[in-house]
Amino acid sequence: MTTLLYTHELCLGHDTGPGHPENPDRLLAVWHALEGEAFAPLVRLEAPRASPQEILRAHSELYLAQVMNAQPAEGERIHLDPDTVLSHGSWEGQLRCIGATNAAIDAVKAKQGDNAFCAVRPCGHHAERDRAMGFCIFNFAAIGALYARDEAGFGRVALVDFDVHHGNGSQHILWDEPGMFYASTHEAHHYPNTGYAHETGLQAEVVNVPLPAGSGSNAFRQAYEGTILPALTAFQPDIILISAGFDAHAADPLADLMLTAEDFAWITRKLMAVADATCEGRIVSFLEGGYDLRALADSSAAHVLALMGR
């Protein structure tokens, strides 16, 4: 089993300022977690710089222009929404997030690796077509899904999101796109208060399983085994993408689900089994949330070890 790891130091340049939960220490924690001997087989690759035109796969020209025209000077920051910061280094870091995602899709298609993990930041799944939200500037998950269909030639693309917050932006962008599957478990009645079970898509197939606050392993695993995995298998994807947020961990300060690192390893193995049965094992995963550094490190390590077949 060959697992590719895409990342780039420019992702550290997104400077959110003192006290912000989404900060460069998150990526440093993930890097440190993947340094041990168990991770020696990882194929470590530098994320390429995406063309700004790639952003237009999922975002409007007006929104792209707004972000480009708002670039702050060195040492300055502006807010795109109450939670989402733009700094001088954000632009180049975002292009590496998108570049990592698209390059990983190409590499998995070319069988250069069995699967891939993109250690990038900030998260992206809240960003909608025309606006930033919830720490997210550009939605590299949705960009990657559309790239997989339109450039890599995968007719049926699945995006599975186990971040504790519903990926409203991914759902919003993919909602009326043919050949798309989006599924999410997330804490019910929590930010951004979307992702209800009745939200099922227009042309995309959308499956949402909101979990009550306080839910732990049993509820999480039942949501997948009872609802999402059967729907994903029936969809017969050509590739599976994962929005891998680890903020559903019991230690995370921003939410109230009670998962452990082993739950993230479990769902990774389950998604790999579906991928093996439907799409020659093709999986590309990318980092979304996770704001307790120890929990983030442990969960990322468990996820990547599972991708490696460990």
Grade residue 9 by pLDDT with cuts at 50, 70 and 90.
very high
Give the tens place of pLDDT for each residue, 215-267.
Answer: 999 999 999 999 999 999 999 999 999 999 999 999 999 999 999 999 999 99
**Strand, coil or helix: what is 250?**
coil
Catalytic residues: 126
Q: Order across the sheet with 43-46: list the strands.
A: 43-46, 3-7, 115-119, 283-287, 239-244, 157-161, 180-187, 205-211
What's the confidence (pLDDT) of residue 24? 98
CATH number listed for the domain at residues 3-307? 3.40.800.20
Please spell the DSSP secondary structure of 172-186, one letter per residue: HHHTT-TTEEEEEEE
Q: What is the pLDDT of residues 69-103, one digit of tens each?
A: 999 999 999 999 999 999 999 999 999 999 999 99
Helices (H), 78-197: 90-109, 140-150, 168-174
The model's pTM: 0.98
**How many C-beta atoms surround the C-beta of residue 19 within 10 A?**
6
The stretch 267-285 carries a mean pLDDT of: 98
Structure confidence by residue, pLDDT tens digits, 29-65: 999 999 999 999 999 999 999 999 999 999 999 999 9
Mean pLDDT along residues 16-41: 97
The per-residue pLDDT for 142 is 98
Check residue 155 and report its DSSP letter. S
